[in-house]
Structure 1
Amino acid sequence: MRLQSVFLLCAAALPSFVFPFPNVPFKTSKRWIIDSTGANFTYIGVNWPGAADVMIPEGLQYASIASIVSKIKSLKMNSVRLTFAIEMIDDIKDNGGDVTIQKAFTKALGSRRVVHTFVFDAVAAELAKQQIYVHLDNHMSKGAWCCSTSDGNSWFGDTYFNADKWKRGLQFMADHTKAWTSMVSIGLRNEFRKPDKAGAQAYNWQTWYTQVVAAANLVNAANPNILIFLSGLDFDTTLSPIPGAGDLGGGQKFQKSSFKYADKLVLELHNYQNSATSCDSMKSGLYNNGFKAQDASSANQMPVILTEFGYSQTDTSFSGVYASCLRKIIPEWHAGWTIWALSGSYYIRSGTQDYEETWGLLNHQWSDWRSANAINGLRQMIDASLK
């Protein structure tokens, strides 16, 4: 598909007006997320990657935004975790402002590396039109495939992880997305991890607290209406000291009650225990690593969302211990979730153009589901979560 066609598809996705939802903004109440009518809301959604080399939501070389969103809607999902890179804002702030879509594709498939927020606006507009909520996620600093301890994006002070630019980028996006009708939340950072590089800031909970709280303050000031998701350490597999207000080091503790916007804070975890052989073991691990925050006995009772989990769509993984266990326990806990990932292919990933994503719910051409059996398994989780 020619780049000019991609531009037209994006432009066509912008409606002359967007149907507003009557039940935003969201807030939290103890372990629950509550909409403006007072009803509980459970995130049931999918990750739509937009933080890789091109820094544009994936799939638009194959399908229109409207057709992609329609597929999400057909599963009865109510939310999308839309990922972005801080480099997108750096280009706007430091490199002469926002630029054309054609240059964005040239970035990954040719020479310069630039992106245009117009496409994100178009995706958000179509999601709102089809009554799907947007959870924006800062996935990386430098636009690239995520994640490793050597990719330069792992921790504050790593090669590409400039803490000040990170905060500036979050503040910019919190402000920019106030125009998105169905924008309800933002994740401050995806998968903090210990960097291989020497010279980064100390990898510990004290550094996490200092940086994350400063960023959350800026985001809340820029847009007080949106929820703020806090991710943990070790690729966001643990939030262990947070539920019980444990010592973060030096006597520092996370106390939800100390935040003026305490009713906007949510915890998020990831889980990829694809080789699991015991659901009981998985359940215990997830609980102790963060989901205990949902219990009334926790010092910091908060909602916990499983914002990433996933498995191959090309085999029988959907019926294995890992997928079956999550399909059971996450709805039982009344916890929200967003599966990784929607994308059947990437513009470019790790140097390979038109990369095949076998974990993608959609096929390579974004025209249909990759596996009817896997999707049927996922529908069971959706139906259980909707009850």
Structure 2
Amino acid sequence: MRSLQLLFAAAVALPAVLAAALPSVSALALNTPFKTNKQWIQDSTGKNFTYVGVNWPGAADVMIPEGLQYASIESIVSKIKSLKMNVVRLTFAIEMIDNIKDNGGDVTIQNAFNKALGTTNGPKVYQQVLENNPQFNEKTTRIQVFDAVAAELNKQGIYVHLDNHMSKGAWCCGSGDGNTWFGDTYFNVNNWKRGLQYMADHGKSWPNLISIGLRNELRSGATNGLPYNWATWYDQVIPAADLVNQANPNILIFLSGLDYDTKLEPIATGADLGSGKKFLLTNFKYANKLVLELHNYQNDATDCGSMESGLWNNGFRATGTIAANIMPVVLTEFGFSQAGTDYTKTYATCIKKLMPQWKTGWIVWVLSGSYYIRSGTQDYEETWGLLNHNWSGWRNTAAISALQGMIDASLKG
């Protein structure tokens, strides 16, 4: 939200295969680490900071950030920077860390494209990625692409918020995709915790990493999972948060709720979660590192007042002065089609009004104009994407203009 106050020279740590290819850059001193103070997020100087950003998916089948077959990392980041956004929610899959830990090392991007897209299209897309991003080669791994994205974001003064989107790399989210809840088909709890630890620790080499989301859109539907309730949430999420804080005590930890992360009422109110468990900030030694996140997709809304009360009761109440747990809340996902005039409808205009009014952070879904593959369809057209199909420009300049107004209002607030 605030302008960057200080510059300093600092080498960006990159794996050797990339370091030799990438030009040396000066890392921006982004006034880290961050902390919370009641409903506010603050940088290391004590200034309030509001998340104003966009989601950049990297958790689907290929498990690298999208769009690199169409554009360079530098050009994509430059487009984000041109909007004056200050953070990117960069999603990842636990499967990537499972490969690193259990299979002798990370998968190369060349093999990742072949596995996800097949041996006909995979090599073609891989070559397109190299043409746009010549710093990569046949030895480059997926995690090294994440390093390169973080480094370029850092170079251009943009923060990184990591998000564990899925366990198995795939499009998210559904009630039957095996990634819904603790113990579901692909949701191995021990691997999940290990993956979070790994990424929190790995991210120490990114000067601009300020936070991590423990899990995206917890939801019912698990075939063999643990009971779907708040008591289970507490038993699984709190130990995971403990591990992340131990691995990297500098970063903020985002806690998501139930029902596709649309509900966090008992966390804000300190209500009984079941079995006598309650979420109370006073129980945490790292209470000043905890943030709540919510999602909202009420695209058919016709009344902003109802949306406002719903969002408030479902979690934003934590930003109020009388909540049992006064905490920052960030709307880490909201969005709508960029292909038409949805930006003028009640849902979009209400979100645009409420976020600056509440002086709270937000991250719009989604940057991607297309995906390498989504639900089996290769080169999938994403009409919700801010960018067009080939990532060369904005999909809808009128919608971007409206978004710019929201950005400016949030930054000013």
Q: TM-score, normalised by structure 1?
A: 0.95
Conserved in 2, the CA contact under 8 Å of 1:356 and 1:364? yes
Please list the CA deviations of residues 249-306 of structure 1 after superposition, one character each: whole Å capped at 9, or x if unmatched.
Answer: 0111000111000000000000000000000000000000000000110110000000
Deviation at 1:106, TM superposition (A): 1.1
- Distance, in Å, in 1 between the alignment partners of 2:328 and 2:108 is 39
- Decide which of 282, 288, 292 is 2:317's aligned counterpart: 292
The Cα offsets for residues 36-86 of structure 1, whole Å up to 9 and x where unpaired, read as: 111000000000000000000000000000000000000000000000000
Q: Deviation at 1:369?
A: 0.2
Q: Distance in 2 between matches of 1:175 and 1:40?
A: 26
1:31 equivalent in alignment to 2:36: no
Cα deviation, residue 11, structure 1: 7.5
Structure 2 unpaired stretches of 5+: 1-17, 123-139
Matched, 1:63 2:71: yes
The residue identity in structure 2 corresponding to 1:42 is: T
Give distance in 1, aligned partners of 2:186 and 2:233: 17
Matches of 2:26 and 2:45, distance apart in 1 = 20
Is this contact kept in 2: 1:15–1:125, CA < 8 A?
no
Runs of 4+ in 1 over 6 A off after TM superposition: 10-13
CA contact (8 A) 1:13 1:126 kept: no
Q: Deviations over 1:168-206 (max 9, x none)?
A: 000000000100010000000000000152x21000001
Partner in structure 1 of residue 173 of structure 2: 147
Residue number in structure 2 paired with 1:353: 378
Equivalent position of 2:215 in the other structure: 189
Deviation of 1:15 after TM superposition, in Å, equals: 4.0
1:331 — aligned with what? 356
Task: Name the SS of the counterpart of 1:242 in structure 2.
Answer: helix
Taking the aligned partners of 1:14 and 1:289, their CA distance within structure 2 comes to: 45
In 2, Cα distance between equivalents of 1:176 and 1:22: 18
Assess if the C-alpha contact under 8 Å between 1:13 and 1:66 holds in 2.
Answer: no
- Asked if 1:178 corresponds to 2:204, the answer is yes
Distance 2:161 2:20 in 1: 23
Question: Which residue is equivalent to 1:221?
Answer: 246
Q: CA deviation at 1:29?
A: 0.2
Is the contact made by 2:308 and 2:354 (CA closer than 8 Å) also made in structure 1? Answer: yes
- The 8 Å contact of residues 13 and 123 in structure 1, kept in 2 or not, is answered as no
Q: Which amino acid aligns with 2:82?
A: S
Alignment counterpart, residue 138 of structure 1, candidates 153, 164, 167: 164
Q: Does 1:89 align with 2:89?
A: no
In 2, the alpha carbon distance for the partners of 1:167 and 1:192 equals 15
**1:1-387 alignment to 2 at 5 Å?**
14-110=22-118, 116-197=142-223, 199-387=224-412
**Take 2:81 and 2:90, find their aligned partners in 1: how far apart are those partners?**
15
**Given that residues 13 and 65 in structure 1 are in contact (C-alpha distance below 8 angstroms), is that contact kept between their aligned partners in structure 2?**
no
Range with bigger deviation, 12-21 or 324-333:
12-21
* TM-score normalised to structure 2 length: 0.89
Distance 2:280 2:26 in 1: 38
Residue 17 of structure 1, CA deviation = 3.4
Residue in structure 2 matched with residue 4 of structure 1 by the alignment: none
Consecutive unaligned residues of structure 1, counting only runs of 5 or more, are 1-9
CA contact (8 A) 1:15 1:126 kept: no
- Asked whether the 8 Å contact 1:174–1:222 carries over to 2, the reply is yes
The answer on whether the counterparts of 2:30 and 2:208 sit within 8 Å (CA) in structure 1 is no
Aligned residue number for residue 5 of structure 1:
none
One-letter identity of the residue aligned with 1:214:
P
Question: Counterparts of 2:21 and 2:365 in 1: how far apart (Å)?
Answer: 24
The amino acid that maps onto 2:178 is G
- C-alpha separation between the residues in 2 aligned to 1:67 and 1:268? 29
Distance verdict in 2 for CA 1:303–1:168, change over 3 Å? same
- Post-superposition offset of 1:14: 4.0
* Number of aligned positions between the proteins: 376
8 A contact 2:181–2:228 mirrored in 1: yes
